[in-house]
Amino acid sequence: MKKILEIYKTAKAPVYSFEFFPPKTPEGETKLFEAVEELSKVDPGYITVTYGAGGSTRDKTIRITSELAKKFSLPAAAHFTCVGGNKDEIRVILKQIRESGIENLMALRGDPPKGEEAFKKVEGGFGYASELISFIKQEGFDFCMGAACYPEKHPEAASLESDVDNLKRKVDSGASYLVSQLFFKNSNFESFLDLIRKKGINVPVIPGIMPITSFTQIERFKSMAACEFPEKLVSDLEEVKDNQEEFYKRSISFSVNQCRELVKMGAPGIHLYTLNQSPASLDIVRELKN
């Protein structure tokens, strides 16, 4: 399996990648494989599979990541978090991941288990992604590790500056590239890039983009990611929120233009959050490649 940093180092064009989550049902899993098959038509650089809150999908994440990589001959990264495991347990899981043929990880702190509001460090475990990344390196695992970054700061961070200091610790610990939380204002991403470069963070930073497929998602994204929305985008979509065809057309047009601008700014690729559906991400990448 090709390592993701090498993909970015050797790419002659922007790298388009897709994120999926492990479905809860066999029917959902069938639909996931169908979505990946559709998206494989645009030759993605790699795919990623998330890890459920509280580590609830750990085994499924490993299995699906491995199966998708083999079935579609795609490089793949499994998400891996600090949640719910001490060092000994984490070491065992890392061995399982490596033995399954996976060479890439997205190393994250993770979200609290369902029903809990705050993240709690397990006794003998880790409280930060930087600690997890450092442990993986110290244990001699040769994963290529990505980490998350937040152009508008992590919701729990006291300030953007303190969040960037924490990001520097992730990179210094061994993160090879960064994938951003979703955002909709490129000016915020540009300011963020300028800030982290001044702090000496020089690894590839990949914008994470989420197509909007319904008007109700806007409030959910604001709550989930604390991200700003351009006023014109909101008003344009509100105007046609009951006309699904026109809504989709306007939303995809915004995402395509956002991605084009990011690539012109020097982004090495675009990471699309698919929600296990292919149409929006497929249309965006096809338009970008045209």
- Known catalytic residues? 19
Provide the strand spans (E) within 60-211. 76-81, 104-108, 144-149, 177-182, 205-209
Residue 288 near residue 253, CB atoms below 8 Å: no
> Is the separation of the CB atoms in 271 and 19 below 8 Å?
yes
177-182/205-209 β-pairing: parallel
Note whether 76 and 17 are within 8 A (CB): no
Specify which residues 145 forms β-bridges with: 105
Q: What is the C-alpha separation between 212 and 248, in angstroms, rounded?
A: 8
The CA angle 190-288-237, to the nearest 5 degrees, is 70
Beta bridge partners of 144: 104
* SS3 assignment for 204-237: CEEEEECCCCCCHHHHHHHHHHCCCCCHHHHHHH
> Which residue type occupies 213?
T
- CA 132 distance to own-chain centroid: 17
